[in-house]
Amino acid sequence: MSKQITQRIEALINEGKFEEGRALAQQSGLNPVDMEAVLGAIAFKEGKYQEAEVTFQRVLQANPNHVATKSNYTSLLVKQRKFKLALPFAKEAFDKNPTHEGFAVNYAACLSETDRFEEAVNVLQPLADKPDSSERVVLACAATLRGAVRPEEALALLRLAQTRFPDSTEIVRALADAEAEMDPRLAAMALRRLEKKLPDSVSLKWNASFSELRIRNFRRGWQLYEHGLDEKIGKIGRPLPAQVKVFPRLTELDEIDPNKWTLFTCEQGLGDQILFLGALREALQRFPKSALVAEERMVGLLQRSFPETPVYTYALAHGWANQKHRINGVFPIGSLMRHFRGSVASFGRHRRSYLKPDASLVDKYRAALQAKAPGDEIIGISWRGGYWDRQKRTKSFEFELFAQLMKAPGRRFVALQYGDVAAERAESKRLGLPVTFVDGIDFIKNTDAWFALAMACDRIISVSTALVHFVGAAGGRVDLLIGDYQAPFIWGLDEGRSLPYANVHIHRKSREESVQEFFHRVEATL
């Protein structure tokens, strides 16, 4: 392909003159493969991703070494968040030219998203450390450093970059995000300043909500938290289940017609749901003609806990899409917090248990556990939390550390960890630890049984995961273990009794102590 023609076409595309770019390509006598490559690139720039993907695949079928298409295809896959698919293409491009910023950024994105943060840092750091590195590379490198749980280095890099790009709002935003891990108060201030510069940035407001909520500035925090419902935030925000998107969305109480039904709908992960449900009863008292909409595995448990209101599945609610004359709409339960938990005091006033386990199951499990270790204190444990990879890294503690808590006699531990626990089970067996791994209950699908098993324990020691919310909301005793980096906002910044649940006690590792020292400290309080 003639370089001159390509450059002219590229210039037209960059100016958004897609039709002219297409016309020029068609007139310029390109061979069919190059022609397809150009048309695919134009479709990509136009945002016609499906068309672009098919075209790129056709080009690569005809010429597997078509460099430009490989690069474009990688960018497209990264844009579509198809990181696993993009990884081999990105690696190949990077290996051929490791100083090309675009290739490096794409490759690092693929590595980060497949939980290979350290490798991603190795890809980007040489470029980011150059005195003339671009803003894009610095931002990408800082993000990977944060992903690798190296926020101090991310901060240092960004602070240096700020001297080179003093007007960059993106750098300020990244700085605030990194700062949030080290000092949420500073982060909140930085984000407030930035918000004045970028008053229309939804993602900034969404990010800022966490800093504000973390420092207990609930009025402003919950207000900003509403931006998580914006489609622009996507999956990392507060996406409602697709089935209930057919209804009008309500977030204000005065939008509710008390003579019609209001569907309070669950949102986000199970832990968030349980936290928000703490405010549901107040809403139900005000609007008795309401129903709660939830995922199927939660229906039985929620119906038991909120007998005054019917609990329906998302799919059932979807079937009522045309019943708008009798349904106000869906009210995401996260938005209840703005109305009913606007201050620290409001949490304190409503710190009572509201989740009810299946009592017969609790009795059954308790009897079985007691029979296994008569007279022992039964302690449920969970060591891994988080949904996103980075959350997993900052929320979790190695299972081996829990072994320190198991030295004292008279304690029997029950693994309440969901997901794959084969390695921990083997380790426990090898070390002869007093841990029971329960077979026959699917902790993810059978939430009610898992919850009953947790409530059959005398207490729980857990990292920040849904388990803490479930047991806390049922009034059970939980020792919550939090690392020294950013934890979920609801746990605030301090140690001691948690804000939403009376019997959840927070143990927070300080930066000065090692994890072993932290676990020793926890052990001493048991």
Partner 1 sequence: MTSLYVQVKERLPEHQGVISDAETLLLNRRDFHITQISAVNANLAVMGFKVGYPYRVLLGFLDQICGNLIKNDFNVILADPSLAIAGFYSWMRAGGSRTFGRVYAPKGIGRFPLVGGLMKELVDDFVAVSEVKPDSQPSKDRQHLFTLVLGNTKRADQTVFAVDRFVEAGSGLLILKDYARVGAFDEREYLESKLIFPAITFEGHAFALKV
Which chain residues interact with partner 1 by CB under 8 A?
Answer: 243, 261, 291, 295-296, 309-310, 312-316, 318-327
Q: Which residue, 98 or 319, has its beta carbon nearer to partner 1?
A: 319
Q: Which residue, 323 or 510, has its beta carbon nearer to partner 1?
A: 323
Q: How far is the CB of 422 from partner 1 (least distance, A)?
A: 25
Q: Which residue, 210 or 320, has its beta carbon nearer to partner 1?
A: 320
Q: Which residue, 69 or 273, has its beta carbon nearer to partner 1?
A: 273
Let me know: does 287 contact 258? Beta carbons within 8 Å.
Answer: yes
Single-letter amino acid, residue 244: V
Q: How far is the CB of 291 from partner 1 (least distance, A)?
A: 6
Let me know: does 395 contact 483? Beta carbons within 8 Å.
Answer: yes
Query: Residue 509: which of 500, 522, 490 has the closest Cα?
Result: 522
The tokens of 3 are what? 């370089």
Q: Which residue, 192 or 318, has its beta carbon nearer to partner 1?
A: 318
Q: How far is the CB of 398 from partner 1 (least distance, A)?
A: 35
Single-letter amino acid, residue 38: V
Q: How large is the angle between the packed helices 359-372 and 447-455, nearest 10 degrees?
A: 60
| DSSP-H helix ranges across 373-446 | 389-395, 399-402, 422-431
Residue 79 phi, psi (nearest 5): -60, -35
Q: How far apart are the first and last CA of the chain?
A: 72
Let me know: does 484 contact 181? Beta carbons within 8 Å.
Answer: no
C-alpha atoms less than 13 angstroms from C-alpha of 278 in its C-beta half-sphere: 30
Q: How far is the CB of 274 from partner 1 (least distance, A)?
A: 19
Q: Which residue, 322 or 360, has its beta carbon nearer to partner 1?
A: 322
Q: How far is the CB of 242 from partner 1 (least distance, A)?
A: 9
Q: How far is the CB of 319 from partner 1 (least distance, A)?
A: 4
Q: How far is the CB of 325 from partner 1 (least distance, A)?
A: 5
Q: How far is the CB of 290 from partner 1 (least distance, A)?
A: 9
Let me know: does 228 contact 244? Beta carbons within 8 Å.
Answer: no
Q: Which residue, 293 or 454, has its beta carbon nearer to partner 1?
A: 293
Angle at 389 between CA 384 and CA 392, to 5 degrees: 20
Q: Which residue, 88 or 288, has its beta carbon nearer to partner 1?
A: 288
Q: How far apart are CA 237 and CA 76, in angstroms?
A: 23
136 Rama sector, left if φ>0, alpha if ψ -120 to 50, beta otherwise:
alpha
Q: Which residues fall within 8 angstroms of residue 96, CB to CB, at 6 or more apart?
A: 103
Q: Which residue, 249 or 297, has its beta carbon nearer to partner 1?
A: 297
Q: Which residues fall within 8 angstroms of residue 170, CB to CB, at 6 or more apart?
A: 135, 139
Q: Which residue, 260 or 425, has its beta carbon nearer to partner 1?
A: 260
Q: How far is the CB of 326 from partner 1 (least distance, A)?
A: 7
Distances (CA, A) of 493 to 148, 350, 489, 497: 22, 21, 8, 12
Q: How far apart are CA 288 and CA 260, in angstroms?
A: 10
Q: Which residues fall within 8 angstroms of residue 147, CB to CB, at 6 or more apart?
A: 112, 117, 120, 389, 390, 393
Q: Which residue, 172 or 291, has its beta carbon nearer to partner 1?
A: 291
Q: How far is the CB of 262 from partner 1 (least distance, A)?
A: 10
Residue 112 phi, psi (nearest 5): -60, -45
Q: How far is the CB of 358 from partner 1 (least distance, A)?
A: 19
Q: How far is the CB of 330 from partner 1 (least distance, A)?
A: 13
What's the sign of the alpha-carbon dihedral 5, 9, 15, 20? positive
Q: Which residue, 297 or 350, has its beta carbon nearer to partner 1?
A: 297
Q: How far is the CB of 314 from partner 1 (least distance, A)?
A: 8
The tokens of 21 are what? 């770019």
Query: Residue 397: which of 314, 326, 459, 483 has the closest Cα?
Result: 483
Q: How far apart are CA 277 and CA 284, in angstroms?
A: 11
Q: How far apart are CA 30 and CA 24, in angstroms?
A: 10
CB atoms inside a 10 Å sphere around CB 14: 10
Q: Which residue, 169 or 323, has its beta carbon nearer to partner 1?
A: 323
